[in-house]
Amino acid sequence: MSRRHRHDARTPIVILSLGIVAVAFFVLPLVALAIRVPWSSSFDALGNDATIEALGLSVATSLITTVLAVIFGVPLAWLLARSNMPGRQTIRGLCTLSMVLPPVVAGVALLASLGRRGVVGQILDDWFGVRLPFTMPAVIVAQLFVAMPFLVLTVESGFARSSTTVEEAARTLGATPWYVFLRVTIPATRPAIVAGAVLTWARALGEFGATITFAGNFPGATRTLPIATYLALETNVDDALLISMLMVVLSLVILVALRGRWVGAIGGAR
Amino acid sequence: MRLIARLVLAISLLAACGSGDSSDDGVVVFAASSLVDVLTDLSADDESAFSGAVLSFASSASLAAQVIDGAPVDLIISADRKQIDELVAAGFGTSEPQVIAQNSVVIAVEVGNPLGISSLDDLSRSDVLLAVAAPGVPLGEYSEAMLAAANVDVSPVTFEADARAVLAKVILGEVDAGVVYATDAESSDDVELIRITEGDEVSVEYMALQLSDGSDRAVELLQELLGDRGQQALARRGFGLP
Amino acid sequence: MTLSVDVKRLIGSMHLDVSFTVEAGETIAIVGPNGAGKSSLLRMIAGLSAADEGRITWNGADWDDASSGEFVPTEKRPVSYVFQDHALIPHLNVLDNVAFGVRASGGRRRVARERATHALSDVGSLELADRMPSELSGGESQTVAIARALATKPELMLFDEPFAALDAGARAQARRLFASMSNESLARILVTHDAVDALTLADRIVALESGSIVQVGTPSDVLATPRSHFVAEILGFNPLSGELHGDQLSIGAMNLTLGAHEVSDGPVIAIIRPRSVSLHRTRPEGSPRNVWNTAIAAVDRTSDRVRVQLGAPLHIAVEVTPAGFEALATGVGEELWASVKASEIAVHPA
């Protein structure tokens, strides 16, 4: 919109009206939530230890998930974007399938593989006495499984866009492929990596279905904020509303702190 | 532009109709998750009043919350008296609440019972991984009360959202034992059911509350549940009768 | 120091099959039309791709031997490569771009920056040191790319169409820089589709067509006996024998003023592109140099251009658009004025 007119002649009215409907669609539930929150009543639900514990667990696990997603996801994205390994399309499909699976299905799949009776989980238990389900690492595994594809896809398109000529120039200047990756490719792809990390973190923070299925619900170990919200809905709707509001504020603060420009890099427009 | 204005008008009119009255054709029943099998059995029977009814299953607490939020429901069946009491206190209900069935709380273990679990006391053994329902959902409340009354101190590895989730963890072998409703344990061939010894057992009453005014269909539904067809269906799925 | 190339590689459906050598101190131009395989050849020499058959050796040591599988990776070859689009690293400033090679080979930051400062001042662009690549003009970024390539002290430098992306002024400057870089211990390969660049900047020319070498020779040899269509076109570029004295070039009775160049006085071959000559009906105002009165000797019309052969004093061909020719409204025998910019005349020792 121009500074002179609210209805800029260049903005077609159809686009403007539909855009406003879309904005309302997103804003209305947030406003409604804010209205329904029992502000006047005490903030006990926020102050109580269980909520603080769930909040801490959510923040900690989602951040660890994001770090792990970057460590493993960036190399995977590079392989998908740059290598000519056979069956890349299939591998991409398999590695991002968990993004579109119903989270509960993802949780069941994790149990089938890493659960106590799972294909790998059984070996972990028999040989090392390691049992993943119902532990904090299980929360991270569940989050990583459903959230990492967001990073992989975003970073892959970043790698695909960054110039291979610049990388080749760096090679001719005496840089090894690893040095080129660290000093040329990664810095050039940084906006995509940050955008992917934000998406991954957001998805991990909100993860519910796969977590409660694979990691269960235990205060302090696996009860994340979304699970706490869901269970509060069963017992005390006011508490649920307050915790929901807490999640909204937390997410908003971080999205704003990251300034739209990082998130803007997701679509490729920098 | 005019076309769009008309479309918007049409859509808003349709939306207004929709929100006014939705019970014209389908009667809406909210029921506790543990009733899934019974009510699905009934609705598959063309002669049943449940045939054609809109069935919605969830935990009793979230169903009650939806009703309070204005969900257009004709009949609610809760696994816990508490929710029905809350609804009545909030002014809902067009008839007296009625008990339609009973259930009990049991221990579900893997088929063959490899750890030899036979009583509530065994649940406190350190080699037994235990799943229970979360405090707050009816099953969780019953389980907690039952264990407290029996003086058994347990440390579950997880507090699941409902009975089916507890059962799933037992079936998948992630836990050794789960405290569930008898009907849930009986619905699966993959678990074995350990009944609680007399004195410690908890009985669960399923209560129905009619919510809509003058809906013959809701009355019909309630009568069927209390009548032969309903009671037989409940018994087939392991429920006790009132 | 000798680079010896004898390789085959399938590129799409084209078979690249070439064999030649380059000595230290020598500049080779590889010329040919687009798609002749020039860049692919350069990439193999740099180690950015491998030969299907044959070998590339440097002083007798294998860089790439398809039969033994021996392959020295790019970073281990004393080669630097100047890309057509310059390929500066976008997130590093000019100084760090130039220092990159030394850093990548394990040099300390301070040493790398010193070397980079030297390299930048060698090409006369020290004032660009703090700028980001996005803030450079085409010519500036080309200069920086050359400084960056020099900073690693390469023994072999590869140039892929270094002048193609530049505007006329920057191009003349880049050519001068290229000519001034030549030294005894450096071998250079210049890939270009511009025959004039090849004639004036290289010691030897390798003419490539559809993956095969059609001619190798000194610029004089190639001018004397062109052996391919592409090289033959060079004849249309008006090679003229003359005598050079500073910036003055005498061709018979005619005197032309040249732009800056690196050629020493004496007999030279001058080249004027047909399209760089302008024709006028009256004496053009404001550009006193390189204007002469002449007459049309012949006219050759094709669908999209008109080739005008000029008579004495300079027997050269000029190309104009049909519309431009109509505006002159001239025919054979008619008098007119011709002019050419000093910077458009290329010279090369005869």
Tell me: pLDDT of B19 over 60. Answer: no
pLDDT of residue C33: 78
Interface test with A, best of C43, C49, C85, C89 (most A CBs within 10 A): C89
Tell me: pLDDT of A262 over 70. Answer: no
Beta-carbon separation of A171 and C48 below 8 A: yes
* pLDDT, tens digit, 9 for 90 and up, residues B75-120: 999 988 888 988 888 888 888 888 999 888 999 999 889 999 988 9
Chain A CA closest to residue B133? A217
* pLDDT, tens digit, 9 for 90 and up, residues A28-60: 988 888 888 877 665 666 667 788 888 899 999
Chain C positions touching A165 (Cβ under 8 A) are 83, 85, 87
Longest dimension (CA), chain A: 72
Quote the percentage of chain C above a pLDDT of 70.
93
* pLDDT, tens digit, 9 for 90 and up, residues C209-249: 888 888 898 887 877 666 666 666 655 677 777 888 888 88
- In this prediction, residue A266 has a pLDDT band, given cuts at 50, 70 and 90, of very low
Angstrom distance (rounded) from CA B170 to CA B106: 13
Cβ neighbours of A20 (radius 10 Å): 10
Q: Quick check: A21 contacting B, CB < 8 Å? A: no
* pLDDT, tens digit, 9 for 90 and up, residues C23-58: 999 999 998 878 888 889 999 999 999 999 999 999
Tell me: pLDDT of B121 over 60. Answer: yes
Write the CB contacts of C332 (distance below 8 Å, at least 6 apart in sequence).
Answer: C296, C297, C298, C299
Tell me: pLDDT of B16 over 50. Answer: no
pLDDT of residue C227: 67
Beta-carbon separation of B65 and A237 below 8 A: yes
Over chain B, what is the mean pLDDT?
82
pLDDT of residue B2: 45
Angstrom distance (rounded) from CA A264 to CA A266: 5
Tell me: pLDDT of C315 over 90. Answer: no
Query: Residue A157 in contact with residue A82, Cβ under 8 Å?
Result: no
Which region among A44-53, B144-153, C81-90 has the lowest average model confidence (pLDDT)? A44-53
Chain A CA closest to residue B171? A117
Shortest CA gap A164–chain C (Å): 9
Query: Residue C22 in contact with residue C158, Cβ under 8 Å?
Result: no
Tell me: pLDDT of C205 over 70. Answer: yes
Write the CB contacts of B25 (distance below 8 Å, at least 6 apart in sequence).
Answer: none
Chain A CA closest to residue C101? A173
Cβ neighbours of B163 (radius 10 Å): 31
pLDDT of residue C236: 66
Q: Quick check: B161 contacting A, CB < 8 Å? A: yes
Exposure class string for C178-205: b at 16+ Cβ within 10 A, else e? beebeeeebbbbbbbbbbbbbbbbbebb
Beta-carbon separation of A117 and B65 below 8 A: no
Query: Residue A16 in contact with residue A2, Cβ under 8 Å?
Result: no
Angstrom distance (rounded) from CA C297 to CA C291: 18
Beta-carbon separation of A231 and B136 below 8 A: yes
pLDDT of residue A44: 64
Q: Quick check: A188 contacting C, CB < 8 Å? A: yes
Chain A positions touching B161 (Cβ under 8 A) are 212, 217, 230-231, 234
pLDDT of residue C231: 67
* pLDDT, tens digit, 9 for 90 and up, residues A54-100: 889 999 999 999 999 999 999 999 999 988 888 888 999 999 899 88
Angstrom distance (rounded) from CA C190 to CA C30: 6
* pLDDT, tens digit, 9 for 90 and up, residues A143-194: 999 999 999 999 999 998 888 899 999 999 999 999 999 999 999 999 899 9
- Which candidate from C46, C91, C104 shows the least CB-CB separation from A188? C91
User: Does B contact C via 3+ CB–CB distances below 8 Å?
Assistant: no
* Across C255-275, average pLDDT: 78
Q: C291-301 and C306-310: which strand pairing?
A: antiparallel
* Across B180-206, average pLDDT: 85
Q: Which residue has the higher pLDDT, A269 or A266?
A: A266
pLDDT of residue A171: 94
Chain A CA closest to residue C43? A168
For the entire predicted model, the pTM comes to: 0.73
Shortest CA gap A79–chain C (Å): 18
- Which candidate from A215, A222, A230 shows the least CB-CB separation from B161? A230
3-class SS string, chain B: CHHHHHHHHHHHHHHHHHHHCCCCCCCEEEEEHHHHHHHHHHHCCCCCCCCCCEEEEECHHHHHHHHHCCCCCCEEEECCHHHHHHHHHCCCCCCCCEEEEEEEEEEEEECCCCCCCCCHHHHHCCCCCEEEECECEHHHHHHHHHHHHCCCCCCCCEEECCHHHHHHHHHCCCCCEEEEEHHHHHCCCCEEEECCCCCCCCEEEEEEEECCCCCHHHHHHHHHHHCHHHHHHHHHCCCECC
Q: Quick check: A182 contacting C, CB < 8 Å? A: no
CA B104 to chain CA centroid, nearest Å: 13
- In this prediction, residue C329 has a pLDDT band, given cuts at 50, 70 and 90, of low
Please state the ipTM of this predicted complex: 0.75
pLDDT of residue A47: 67
pLDDT of residue B58: 83
Cβ neighbours of B234 (radius 10 Å): 27
C176-180 long-range CB contacts below 8 Å, 24 or more apart? C176/C260, C176/C261, C176/C262, C177/C123, C177/C143, C177/C146, C178/C146, C179/C261, C179/C262, C180/C262
pLDDT of residue C255: 81
Touching subunits of C (3+ CB pairs, under 8 Å) are A
pLDDT of residue C230: 64
